[in-house]
């Protein structure tokens, strides 16, 4: 599961970037288990089982060490981390819906289940954008499980490196209406110029009142070897994913600054603050904050 990135590379949910989507779903499934569950995602576990990667299934079942003894990668902290992350992006959609935004876009949707599990108001359209094989697998698997979307779910089977805005409009997207966008766990897998292009395309498609949520990483504040350290520690607790080979490292524009310059009102919640808001304490660990937090933006 060590796939070095290159232009035009593709993946399924057991390889390369796709495996990270399965890893995130496994984390959501683990945090949804037990009497003190932090999340309620009924579809994460069956999706992970359907992908069939043994390590991720074992992680869900609690059959692996899951980093006990590591301040960052132990089961409790991992459950808290995915709860903070999942709730943050859930809230972007829930708050936007409350305010009358009836159009949502999930970029690089992977095994995201929000179109199925969130209480969308009647008339909401949720667009999911990802590679065709990923979209097909999730759609078929959830249908076989009897899952039904709780919104008007429309899939856009296209790589974000291609003309996804045209494909999105072709699926019925209305650029004149406010939109709620999420780009969860995406930016670090994009080359710096592709991140800028993504934000330019989102901005061009966003009517006033649109919202955007993504992680915010201050790459300049991170040690040069942070990705390698994260990879080594995660592999010590059983992961087969080489994050250092999947991330695009080096200098890139700050998401907060770039969006602010393009007419968005931006707020960044530091990771420690996000943990505290959920009643958790961020571990005292060099990799815990990874130089950033969680970004929300509203289009003026």
What is the CATH classification number for the domain harbouring 218? 3.40.50.150
Q: Cα separation of 97 and 179, whole Å?
A: 10
How far is the C-alpha of 133 from the C-alpha of 157, rounded, in Å? 8
What mean pLDDT do residues 184-196 have?
93
Question: Does some domain include residue 7?
Answer: no
For residue 26, the model assigns a pLDDT of 94
Q: Sheet harboring 211-217: ordered strands across?
A: 152-157, 125-130, 103-107, 180-183, 211-217, 292-299, 264-270
Report residue 230: phi and psi, to 5°.
-65, -40
The confidence score (pLDDT) of residue 5 equals 47
pLDDT for the residue numbered 6: 60
Please answer whether residues 155 and 132 qualify as being in contact, where contact means their C-beta atoms are separated by less than 8 angstroms: no
d(C-alpha 251, C-alpha 238), whole Å = 30
| In a domain? residue 245 | yes
- Band of pLDDT at residue 65, cut at 50, 70 and 90: low
**pLDDT, greater one: 3 or 114:** 114
The total number of residues shown for the chain amounts to 300
Q: What is the mean pLDDT of residues 98-108?
A: 98
Distance CA 44, CA 267 (A): 29
Does 5 reside within a domain?
A: no
Question: Is 2's pLDDT higher than 50?
Answer: no
Q: Is residue 6 part of a domain?
A: no
Instruction: Indicate the average pLDDT of the chain.
Output: 89
**Residue 10 counted as domain residue:** no
- The per-residue pLDDT for range 209-234, each reduced to its tens digit, is 999 999 998 766 666 776 787 777 77
The full DSSP string for 216-271 is EE-GGGS-TTHHHHHHHHHHHTT----HHHHS--S----HHHHHHTTTEEEEEEEH
State pLDDT tens for residues 66-85. 556 777 778 899 899 999 99
Please state which of the ranges 9-13, 90-94, 123-127, 243-247 shows the lowest mean pLDDT. Answer: 9-13
Residue 4 is predicted with a pLDDT of 56
Say how many C-beta atoms besides its own lie within 10 A of residue 22's C-beta. Answer: 27
| Model pLDDT for residues 137-153, shown as the tens digit of each residue | 999 999 999 999 999 99
Q: What share of the chain is helix, strand, coil (3-state, %, to 5)?
A: 45, 15, 45
Q: For residue 156, is it within any domain?
A: yes
Range of the domain at 178: 16-299
Q: Report whether pLDDT(104) > 90.
A: yes
101, 111, 117, 260 from 27: Cα distances, Å: 29, 12, 16, 32
In this prediction, residue 173 has a pLDDT band, given cuts at 50, 70 and 90, of very high
Question: What integer is the mean pLDDT of 170-186?
Answer: 98
Nearest to 187 by CA among 274, 252, 270: 252
Angle at which helix 44-51 crosses helix 16-31, to 10 degrees, equals 140
1 domain residue, yes or no: no
- Joined together, the tokens standing for residue 169 give 């409009």
Mean pLDDT of 239-244: 72
Number of domains in the chain: 1
Which span out of 164-168, 225-229, 236-240 was modeled with the highest average pLDDT? 164-168
Q: Is the pLDDT of residue 118 over 70?
A: yes
Category of 142 on φ-ψ map: left (φ > 0), alpha (ψ -120 to 50) or beta: alpha
Backbone φ, ψ for residue 87 (5° rounding):
-65, -35
Residue 8 domain-assigned (yes or no): no
């Amino acid at each position: 599961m060590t796939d070095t990135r290159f232009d035009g590379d593709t993946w399924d949910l057991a390889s390369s970037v796709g495996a990270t989507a399965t890893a995130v779903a496994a984390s959501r499934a683990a945090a949804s288990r037990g009497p003190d569950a932090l999340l309620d995602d009924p579809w994460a576990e069956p999706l992970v089982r359907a992908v069939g990667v043994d390590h991720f299934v074992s992680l869900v079942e609690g059959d692996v060490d899951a980093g006990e003894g590591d301040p960052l990668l132990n089961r409790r902290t991992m459950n808290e981390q995915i709860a903070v992350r999942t709730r943050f992006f859930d809230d972007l959609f829930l708050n936007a819906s409350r305010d009358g935004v009836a159009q949502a876009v999930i970029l690089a949707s992977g095994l995201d289940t929000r179109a199925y599990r969130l209480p969308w108001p009647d008339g909401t359209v949720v667009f999911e954008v990802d590679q065709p094989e990923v979209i097909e697998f999730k759609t078929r698997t959830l249908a076989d499980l009897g899952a039904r979307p709780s919104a008007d779910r429309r899939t856009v089977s296209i790589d974000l490196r291609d003309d996804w805005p045209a494909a999105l409009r072709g699926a019925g997207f209305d650029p004149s209406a406010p939109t709620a966008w999420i780009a969860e766990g995406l930016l670090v897998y994009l080359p710096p110029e592709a991140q800028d292009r993504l934000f330019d395309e989102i901005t061009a498609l966003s009517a006033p009142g649109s919202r955007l949520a993504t992680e915010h990483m201050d790459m300049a504040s991170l040690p040069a070897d942070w990705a390698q350290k994260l990879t080594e520690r995660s592999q010590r607790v059983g992961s087969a994913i080489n994050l250092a080979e999947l991330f695009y490292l080096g200098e890139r524009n700050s998401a907060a600054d770039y969006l602010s310059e393009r007419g968005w009102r931006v707020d960044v919640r530091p990771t420690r603050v996000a943990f505290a808001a959920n009643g958790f304490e961020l571990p005292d660990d060099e990799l815990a904050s990874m130089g950033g937090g969680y970004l929300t933006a509203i289009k003026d």
